[in-house]
Structure 1
Amino acid sequence: MTVTAGREPNPDLRDFLRSRRARIAPEEIGAAAHAGRRRVPGLRREEVAQLAGVSVDYYIRLEQGRNLHVSTEVLDAVARALRLDATERSHLFDLARPQRADGRGSGGGGGNGHGHGHGLGLGLGLGLGLGDGLRDGPGHGPGHGLGHGRGHQPGSDPVRGSAPGTVRAAGSTGAAVPQRVRAGLYRVLDALDGTPAMIMGHRLDVLAANRLAKALYTDFDALAHRDRNLARFIFLDPAARELLADWETGARGAVAALRLYAGRHPYDPALRPLVDELSESDEDFRQWWAAHDVLEYTHGTKRYRHPVVGELALEYESLTLPDDPDQALYLYTAEPGSPSEEALRTLASRTADALHPNG
């Protein structure tokens, strides 16, 4: 992974493009009859170049990360040739035009041709919509649409302190600015006493969670700051494998969400240690990281096997904060009249009883 932005060559751009052309069968473009022997799966580079309407040499230089000034028109043509969805297209632009330390792109005609909105949009909800497919298309699928970016709020609650999420400040040479959650947002979380709610930030960091969200997942506030992270929970906490009804779908989604984040925040100094730790700890993470899939989800369904209330399915919605697009509020609700609603109500009651044992 490249976590510092791109001088040539650009291995992340190279590997992403290779992975996307590898998944397209030659038969899909009518190339099988005259393709000859193929040493690698999927399309050849010259076939992608032909589909995109560029020279083979130009595409090879692009795939090798040796063309830092590629135009919007060419990137769009490559995206169409490789049949990228909207999230993958956005990721292609990020990789082809990596952000510099001062927050500006590396150049290329006409701008990026896309906007990040709520940053990462990571599809995680700890279960990441368990049961949905990884590639349901932009804006749908398994997990959160986590909002990620800088999110420095100097007016945060001094008692609760800064949240764990950090990203390098614009123009800096390495200092990390912690993400902070405004005091008013903590009050919003506390007011939602019957609804699990969390605020998410960079790298799947859990910036804040109300009592019911912590009862549903884990008490993130009791963890060290660096451990308040959904990816760490999913891969490193054995409880996650019991809680998530489809752990593999959630875990694959977490990896793909981090991939998307890496393209958008190549200078985040905390990303590399996280990826290294998870790669060293889990073989699945290593394999899925190498797949270069990306996710950006905003709503969906998650299913759980909770140790206290049993099975339940919750719908989640991601709401990007208007004054900080790098943080997002996640709300989890159950279908009215369903067994999941009753289970959630029971969990809320037991959480309240634990907080006020004498009534």
Structure 2
Amino acid sequence: MKNLMTKAAVAALAFGFATEAMATEWNVSVWGKRRAFTEHLEKMAEIVAEKTNGEFTMNVSYGGLSKPKENLDGISIGAFEMAQFCAGYHPDKNPTVTVLELPFLGVNTLAEEVAVSNAVYAHPAAQKDLARWNAKLLMPSPMPQYNIVGTGEPRDTLEKMNGMRVRATGGIGQAFKSIGAVPTSVPATEAYNAMESGVVDTVAFAQHAHFAYRTIDQAKWWTANLNPGTVNCPVVVNIDAYESLSDAHREALDSTVDTVVAYYLENYGKTLTKWDQVLAEKNVTKVMLSEEEIAKFKATAADPIREEWIAKMDAQGIPGQDLYDTVMTALAEARK
């Protein structure tokens, strides 16, 4: 009887450990506060938990795990399992992805942004690039074209933008630099203070970020049609953590991606609707640059910066032209 009881106790204990081992808990590192930019991650956590009956959970942390510019480093050492980052924060760490931040690519919609992002993320060069950080590209955080809010007199010509201090990263920052502006890449979380203290005159963001970081509260004007480009902010997962998932949990994660990106697009549409209302409420002047000024901006920024980027990639052994062609092909396919 004692032997039977001992065997039963051991079996029960072993079952308990097995059940515990089946549970998976991931930490997800983002920054700021919950907003349109993070809704696909919140939705993913919800759906994955439902699909796995609570066995696979994700804790989305807003700044508690890492600084924005250090999320890729945290992924590389396994400090957390999933993270969001923006390529322009550290272009040397993720050079391949910066193709998506080149100015004036001609991407007009969030759906097109998803298409070109997915195409680049699937490119072997991009996957090899991020694997250096033990990171697997999972999904994009698509954002519309950036525009700037500013203080003082509206800057509606390139001449007026000469000497303008602008918070802008990546290719957008390069574009502004090409017309004589002075870009700075302070993290989004510091943009309000930079604007308030006069460190910058203007801030380039997508609409949700002007809301989230309150730069709209200081704005006197907004460029409605400059559209110089956007930043690309992938969601990545630690490769070891991904590969250690059970087949069921990995399938739950992978099969949720398309659903949550579609949810993100739908939700972001509400932000764009709200934007025009807030501009009116805060009496922010809508600045429309002339077609001639925008054409001058493109001529100064688009081709030279693209050619410089391709040459820089080639020098590093990265297929820059092929990555750029991948973007253009994906954009053409998306428009079909």
**What range describes the TM-score normalised by the shorter chain of this pair?**
under 0.3
| Greater length-normalized contact order (CA 8 Å, ≥ 6 residues apart) | 2
> Normalising to structure 2: TM-score of the pair?
0.27
> Normalising to structure 1: TM-score of the pair?
0.26
Structure with greater helix percent? 2
